[in-house]
Chains A and B, each alone.
Chain A
């Protein structure tokens, strides 16, 4: 065995180990058996109909979608502005400010969760939709900033400067010159943020109160009883995540090629 071959084998085994459990969920979700079993004895869509027929799951899905939609849009707005400001302005202590924004991504999520729990308890935001939106927005800003920092840093400042000398205000320059060229980056940042919000469970569990999101509901179900409905939910989540990220990646790639 050559070393190269050994490395390759390890890589393939590791990848298989990571992906296999995810893959196994998919056939299980189409199982006709009334408890989780692999391989499935027969095929059916009963767990999908159980998912869509359950008011708990449907309302959790709606909460997740609304929450993800609002907080990813807010995160996109705030994260992009923070990123632009930090890229373009000479600011003292830029490092400190930037790490402050990035902290929710770097700190263990549980710390952010406890911190938000304590803070929200004090100001009465626990268990409110506003509290959830705020918490998710804070968590999403660094994801947006990672994408937009690259975009703004590689954007030629001189295009903006020329636009200003031609009489365009900062706002007009943003709208007519900068943003049209960064559409794909903004879209990708928004998708990453949306997917991340949809996926978030730790902070949500701490502060959501009676609100139920899809991942939070999955957790509760797993604790109580293991229903195969959860495999259908998991499969839908996988499909949604893969499709969104693939779409975002594709659009980013295409924009790189055309510019």
Chain B
């Protein structure tokens, strides 16, 4: 178990900067999610931490050890790729035993550890199968089992659930989170799915074009985004003027908007429902005001509904507006 400290870590490919001066401290046992659009440098950052790629600047510590130029073999890190990268010529048990064989664990210790991890990951019955005979979810579990069996200090997961369908992904998110808590292992999980990042991380780090936009708890990042990019990347954001006399703008999350039929009140902004979408438990309203401003509101499915084309007044409390820019 270890903490990770990056100071001014960067990676340049010629004139292109994939990761720009990242400062990061992941505390021991923390679950950090790394969120960013495709090409924002997430995989590059993980590769730097794993030692698969050398930084062009900055320093990196795992625990008290300076690992800036340590090869991947010397870092004691468990790694899972989106594609799993299982060894197709080995059985499930052989895949999981591989890191222990490399580390020259004794036979009895090795068998014991492999058996325990396979059981923990519900893979016991599949131990003699080849990866090609497993479903996507099972392959994912094998990759995870192989990454934790040698008790690494750190677990790095690069979009580990990205290849799975939504239902399985949600199940595994819960399992993964429980596993991480049980092992207490410092974990970095890369994803481009904002819900996954917010629901799984103790903290979330948002990257764009190789630069850190914000590192914060999910709640802070969602409600108090550091900038417009974070605000919009983490979900729908209504942009409104801040009523402090300045010309500053602020953001309002869709569930913070209050909607009333215009017949009952003249408070707030008069709008018309221009579209609405049923999302199961919630309804999403698209509202347009006469001056061209538009709002997006989310309301619970149970409760008052507003028909398409009906007149609705939109209002909000000033404390819910978070100033940006």
- Any chain B CB within 8 A of the CB of A176? yes
- The A-contacting residues of B in range 73-98, CB under 8 angstroms, are 73, 75-79, 81, 83, 85-89, 98
Inter-chain contact A180/B81, CB cutoff 8 Å: no
Query: Which residues in A have their C-beta under 8 angstroms from that of B51?
Result: 164-165
A165 near B78: Cβ-Cβ < 8 Å: yes
Q: Determine how close the nearest CB of chain B comes to the CB of A159; give it in whole angstroms.
A: 5
Interface residues of chain B, those whose CB is within 8 Å of chain A, are: 47, 50-52, 71-73, 75-79, 81, 83, 85-89, 98-99, 102-103, 132, 146, 150
Asked if A165 and B89 make an inter-chain contact with CB atoms under 8 angstroms apart, the answer reads: no
- Give the distance in Å from the alpha carbon of A172 to the alpha carbon of B71 in the complex: 15
Chain A residues close to B by CB (< 8 Å)? 156, 158-159, 161-169, 172, 176-177, 180-181, 259
**A168 near B73: Cβ-Cβ < 8 Å:** yes
**Which of B71, B78, B81, B89 is A181 in contact with, Cβ under 8 Å?**
B89
A163 touches B89 (CB 8 A): no
Contact (Cβ within 8 A) B103 A159: no
Residue contacts A-B, CB under 8 angstroms, 14 given: A161-B50, A161-B72, A161-B81, A162-B79, A162-B81, A164-B51, A164-B52, A164-B72, A165-B79, A166-B78, A166-B146, A168-B98, A172-B102, A259-B132
Known: A165-B78, A165-B79, A167-B103. A177 touches B72 (CB 8 A): no
Contacts of A163 in B (CB 8 A): 87, 98, 102
Closest to B50 in A: A165
Q: Which residues of B contact A181 (CB under 8 A)?
A: 87-89
Q: Write out the residue numbers on chain B whose beta carbons fall within 8 Å of the beta carbon of A172.
A: 102
In the complex, the answer to whether B73 meets A169 with C-beta atoms within 8 Å is: yes
A159 to B79 alpha-carbon distance, docked (Å): 11
Q: Which residue of A is nearest B94, CB measured?
A: A176
* Complex contacts, A165 vs chain B, CB 8 Å: 50-52, 72-73, 75, 77-79
Instruction: Flag if B81 contacts A158 (CB, 8 Å).
Output: yes
Min distance, Cβ A185 to any Cβ of chain B, angstroms: 13
| Cβ of B170 to closest chain A Cβ, rounded Å | 25
Q: How far is the CB of A186 from chain B (nearest CB, A)?
A: 14
- Which residues in B have their C-beta under 8 angstroms from that of A156? 83, 85
With a CB–CB cut-off of 8 A, which chain B residues contact A166? Answer: 78-79, 98-99, 102, 146, 150
Give the nearest-CB partner of B80 in chain A: A162
A178 CB to closest chain B CB (Å) equals 10
Q: Given A166-B150, A168-B73, verify A161-B85 contact (CB < 8 Å).
A: yes
Closest to A160 in B: B85
In the assembled complex, the Cα of A168 lies from the Cα of B77 at a distance in Å of: 12
A103 nearest CB across to chain B (Å): 29
How distant is the Cα of A156 from the Cα of B84 in the complex, in angstroms? 11
Q: How far is the CA of A63 from the CA of B65 in the complex (A)?
A: 59
- Complex Cα distance, B101 from A169, in Å, reads 12
Most A C-beta atoms less than 10 A away, residue of B73, B86, B88: B73
Contact partners of A168 in chain B: CB under 8 A = 73, 98-99, 102
B86 — which chain A residues lie within 8 A by C-beta?
A: 159
Q: Is B102 touching A177 in the complex (CB atoms < 8 A)?
A: no
Tell me which residues across on chain B come within 8 A of A158, comparing CB atoms.
81, 83, 85
Most chain B beta carbons < 10 A, residue from A161, A180, A259: A161
The distance in angstroms between the C-alpha atoms of A259 and B83, with both chains bound, is: 15
Q: Beyond A156-B83, A166-B99, A167-B150: 19 further Cβ-contacts under 8 Å?
A: A159-B87, A161-B85, A162-B85, A163-B87, A163-B98, A164-B52, A164-B71, A164-B72, A165-B50, A165-B72, A165-B75, A165-B78, A165-B79, A166-B79, A166-B98, A168-B73, A168-B98, A259-B88, A259-B132
